[in-house]
């Protein structure tokens, strides 16, 4: 049953990365500016951010299964409608709506994984992000194939929208409530510690780190394919192959989560952010050879998605008592994706004025270094066991 839900999460991840691969074709079709194209590439994260805490509220009153199924229905409908609407604002609205659905699925999955696998919460969340990596790898490749076959960017949108509703039917038939509605880990004997409220030192710092993480990670993923195609002149297939390796990097999420369960959050997060600053710099500076970009993109995915993202999500849950797991998860989703919503626009705006290398240096490398320093202020002793 967990595997079925993980497949739905992989589909969501693939759905996220359709637009960045198709962005250049959509821009040519509608004449959007680079900044507006960047905004469209990451606007779904606004829905993700806005939906995090409200989803935690819904999870306290309705079943996880009902909430995540509603989420899949919303983001699948938004994806399909993106191919039908015309104009910037209609497309913006549909893409933002997909984020709300994704938020409902992501928050539900994080809360479920942390509750059912309470002794290994970060690793369990890592398994969720492992399937995110699969989706990120498969999504761009399948999108480029459909684009080549149908010669229309609308075809991948319609296909992925339909797959979402197929997934809903599978979940309804296979996932039982005794699994999806596992009681909060407050009922698990080994649980202890953690703050009794979201207003505590660790959660405040983690919220700030998540906001920076959203700008760093989605500034990269939202605009990297455009950089490869527009600046390095990669073909759609080559750009999809390279960006797909970000997803392969995310496959280290289970190991990355295990690091978070074993070592201090200070060490894990500060090291991850520091490494991101270096790898991000190298991605946008250098020869641009395909093999080089592929290796660097894989490394960025392993560090950013497979380690930093997974452990930010896990530490948000660990920072509070077990009974607040859904709220901790919701706070992570809101803070991370709230900032990610403007990351593509910011990256595109800086690029328009100062070029790709300067945009990366400011939004990815510099912010990562600041986050690495801030992570040292966490207090591991105040987190739950």
**CATH number assigned to the domain comprising residue 294:** 1.20.1250.20
C-beta atoms surrounding 245 within 10 Å: 23
pTM value is: 0.74
pLDDT at 34: 81
pLDDT digits (tens, 9 = 90+) for 196-227: 888 899 999 999 999 999 999 989 988 898 89
Better pLDDT: 41 or 366: 366
Farthest-apart Cα atoms in the chain, separation: 59
CB-based contact 309:368 (threshold 8 Å): no
* Mean predicted confidence (pLDDT) in 81-103: 89
- The number of angstroms, rounded, from the C-alpha of 12 to the middle of its chain's C-alpha atoms is 10
* Mean predicted confidence (pLDDT) in 27-46: 83
Task: For residue 281, give the nearest of 169, 368, 198, 346 by alpha carbon.
Answer: 368
DSSP H helical segments within the chain, as ranges?
A: 2-16, 18-30, 34-42, 44-59, 64-82, 88-116, 121-150, 154-174, 177-180, 201-230, 236-249, 253-262, 265-284, 290-303, 310-318, 325-340, 343-354, 356-360, 367-374
pLDDT of residue 17 exceeding 80: no
Distance (Å, rounded) from C-alpha 133 to C-alpha 142? 14
- The share of the chain scoring above pLDDT 90, in percent, equals 30
CB-based contact 280:220 (threshold 8 Å): yes
For residue 18 the two structure tokens come to 């359709």
How many structural domains does the chain have?
A: 1
* String of DSSP letters for 98-127: HHHHHHHHHHHHHHHHHHHTGGGHHHHHHH
- pLDDT band at residue 120, thresholds of 50, 70 and 90? low
pLDDT digits (tens, 9 = 90+) for 128-169: 777 877 887 788 788 888 888 888 888 888 998 898 899 899
**Residue 271 sits in which domain range?**
2-382
Distance (Å, rounded) from C-alpha 255 to C-alpha 332? 20
pLDDT digits (tens, 9 = 90+) for 242-292: 987 887 887 788 788 888 888 999 999 999 999 999 999 999 998 889 999
What is the rounded average pLDDT for all residues in the chain?
85
CB-based contact 223:347 (threshold 8 Å): yes
The CA-atom distances, in angstroms, between 213 and each of 77, 274, 369 are 28, 12, 11
């Amino acid at each position: 049953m967990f595997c079925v839900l993980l497949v739905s999460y992989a589909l969501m991840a693939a759905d996220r990365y359709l637009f960045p691969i198709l962005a250049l074709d959509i821009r040519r079709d509608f004449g959007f500016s680079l900044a507006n194209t960047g905004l469209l590439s990451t606007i779904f994260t606004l829905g993700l951010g806005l939906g995090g805490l409200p989803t935690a509220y819904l999870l306290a009153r309705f079943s996880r299964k009902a909430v995540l199924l509603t989420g899949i229905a919303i983001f699948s409908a938004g994806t399909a409608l993106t191919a039908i609407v015309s104009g910037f604002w209609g497309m913006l609205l549909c893409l933002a709506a997909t984020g709300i659905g994704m938020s409902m699925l992501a928050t539900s999955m994080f809360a479920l994984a942390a509750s059912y696998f309470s002794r290994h919460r970060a690793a369990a969340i890592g398994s969720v992000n492992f399937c995110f990596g699969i989706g990120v790898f498969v999504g761009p490749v399948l999108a480029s194939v459909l684009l080549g076959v149908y010669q229309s960017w609308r075809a991948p949108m319609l296909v992925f929208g339909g797959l979402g509703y197929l997934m809903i039917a599978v979940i309804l038939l296979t996932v039982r409530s005794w699994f999806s509605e596992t009681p909060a880990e407050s009922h698990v004997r080994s649980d202890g510690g953690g703050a009794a409220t979201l207003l505590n030192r660790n959660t405040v710092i983690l919220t700030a780190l998540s906001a920076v993480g959203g700008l760093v990670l989605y500034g990269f993923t939202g605009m990297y394919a455009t950089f490869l195609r527009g600046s390095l002149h990669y073909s759609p297939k080559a750009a999809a192959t390279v960006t797909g390796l970000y997803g392969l990097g995310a496959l280290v999420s289970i190991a990355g989560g295990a690091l978070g369960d074993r070592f201090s959050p200070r060490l894990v997060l500060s090291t991850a952010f520091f490494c991101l600053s270096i790898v991000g710099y190298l991605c946008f500076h250098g020869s641009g050879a395909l093999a080089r970009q592929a290796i660097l993109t894989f490394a960025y995915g392993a560090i950013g998605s497979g380690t930093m993202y997974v452990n930010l999500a896990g530490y948000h849950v660990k920072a509070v008592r077990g009974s607040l797991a859904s709220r901790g998860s919701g706070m992570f989703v809101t803070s991370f994706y709230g900032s990610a919503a403007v990351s593509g626009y910011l990256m595109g705006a800086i690029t328009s004025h100062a070029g790709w290398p300067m945009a990366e240096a400011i939004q990815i490398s510099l912010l990562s270094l600041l986050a690495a320093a801030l992570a040292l202020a966490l207090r591991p002793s105040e987190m739950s066991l």
